Amino acid sequence: MPPESSEPSESSKPPKLLRSRGPLRSRGPLRSLRSLRPHRPPKPWTRSAARGALCAAALVVAAAVPAHADGGGSAEWSVTPSAGGGTRPAKDGRPSFYAEGTPGAVLQDTLSVTNPGPKPRTISLRGADAANTGSGAFSVTPAKGRPKDTGAWLTFARRQVKVEPRTRAEVPFTLTVPTGALPGDHPGAIVASGGGRTVGVRVDLRVGGPSLSALTVERVEVDTDAGSISYDLVNRGNTVLTPKLAVHADGVFGTLLDRPARTLPVELLPGRRVSLTEPWPDAPALDAVDVELTATASGGARGTATASARFVPWGAVAGGGALLLAAAGGALHLVRRRRRRTAEGREQEPSPGTGPGPVSEQKCGATELAPAGTGDER
């Protein structure tokens, strides 16, 4: 801020909080950054009102920072978008950087690094590309990886910033859009590290040109044992999507599941795929089911996929089968036992011609024939 002739005396000056090298010069078509969230444009201020507000804010911040008699402290440093940057500056600060530009444009803004503690801090800055976690949440590429998108297009006035105690340093940076950049969303982040901490500020860049919102649902499977539905969501367009999911399932006797569309905790980046699971705790025990998943998102994106499954209580079936096998085995054992006893009984009965009756008849016959051979008559 330019000096004024009516400055207070040295004893009454508030502690100095801002240290800035000033904005970088643009090397091409320039479009300022604006907040990701829409804000109402502020009312114009007079110079005296602006000076008074700055002094009041400085006094409030200075009073809010606790002093430590032992020279130590646990106050943590932070990084935020500069409150006065962008085309729509907000009194409560911006949550992230937002930029729009055509290929070849050079955009610029300022990052604020605040150190409320009693010791100096050295903060390192780097650019990073955006990524999706396994659950679809927003993340950034690790420090070991080399950025290839927005993270590679960021240039800082200083990559290492030393911030004195209870002060704030303003770090200008530029975002150069390559001439061959594809149109659409290119999310990234500014990552700051120091003092054992790593924090970041999101950078949302939209490159001018045709935009397409497209979404597909793929690889739908029903896990009958776990009672869940797994599926993949794929962003086939060039815009960031926050999808909604509706689930419908029909059984043999009618509708089993009908969940209206609800917003998923997912921020699906262009060209990315995430694998998700939809719980189904009250799935049927025995039924034939047809499942349909419908995903929608802003910009007219819509995708649908179906799957079929058969719910069979295999535990009960296995138990019933074991009982049937046991009963069949017992019946077979009884049948064989009865057959064995019948066979043994038949073996013990006398055969014809071997009993006592026939033997006596033979003896009688022999007695009668003997006299006949001698000529004796009875």
pLDDT of residue 334: 63
Q: Are 172 and 21 in contact (CB under 8 A)?
A: yes
- DSSP class of residue 292 equals E
pLDDT of residue 58: 34
- DSSP class of residue 51 equals H
Is the pTM here over 0.75, yes or no?
no
pLDDT of residue 164: 95
173/188 Cα distance (integer angstroms): 14
pLDDT of residue 128: 97
Alpha-carbon distance values, 13 to 53, 56, 66, 68, 120 (Å): 14, 11, 19, 22, 22
What are 366's two structure tokens?
């022999």
pLDDT of residue 158: 94
71/217 Cα distance (integer angstroms): 57
pLDDT of residue 372: 45
Mean pLDDT by 10 residues, the chain (378 residues): 42 40 39 39 42 36 33 70 64 84 96 94 97 93 92 97 96 96 97 94 96 97 94 97 97 95 97 96 92 97 96 63 56 60 63 50 43 46
